[in-house]
Structure 1
Amino acid sequence: MSEFLQNAGAGLYAPGWLALAILCLVPLLVRGHHAFPYPAIVRLPEDELSVWLERLWRWAGALSIIALAIALSGPYWGEQQIEKVGRGAHIMIVLDRSASMNDSFADTREKNDAEPKMATARRVLQSFVQQSREDLLGMVTFSTSPILVAPLGGDREAVLAALRATEAGGMGFTAVARGLGMALDYFEGKPVTGARAILLVSDGGAHLDVKTQDLLREMFHRQNASLYWVYLRSANGASLKDAPEDENRDAYPEYQLHEYFQSLGVNYHVYEAESPQAVEEAITDISKLKNQPVKYYEATARQDLAWMFYLIALLCTAALFALHLTEVKRWRAV
Structure 2
Amino acid sequence: MTGLMLRPDLKTAGGEVCDIVLDNEFVGTLTLVYRESDRLSGSIQLEEHSLSESAKRETIAFLQNYVQLLVSALQVKTCEVFVTYSPYELLIVTDEQAAIEASPDGKEEDSLYADLEPEENEHDLGYELVTISEKRNAIEYHIFDPEMELVAEADIHMVGTDVTGKVEWKSYPLDEEMEQAAELIVADFNEDEIDSYFLTMTFDGQVIETFDLLHNDLYEAEMDVPHAEGKADHSDYTIVLARDDDDALTYEIYKPSEGRLPMGTATMDISQRQITGFIDFREPGSSDDRELIAALLLEELDKEKEFDSVNLSMLHQNQLIDEILFETEQLH
TM-score bracket for this pair, using the shorter chain length: under 0.3
**Structure with the higher fraction of residues in helix conformation:** 1
* Structure possessing the higher radius of gyration over alpha carbons: 1
> Which has the higher relative contact order, 1 or 2, with Cα contacts under 8 A spaced 6 or more apart?
1
User: Structure 2 length normalisation: TM-score?
Assistant: 0.23
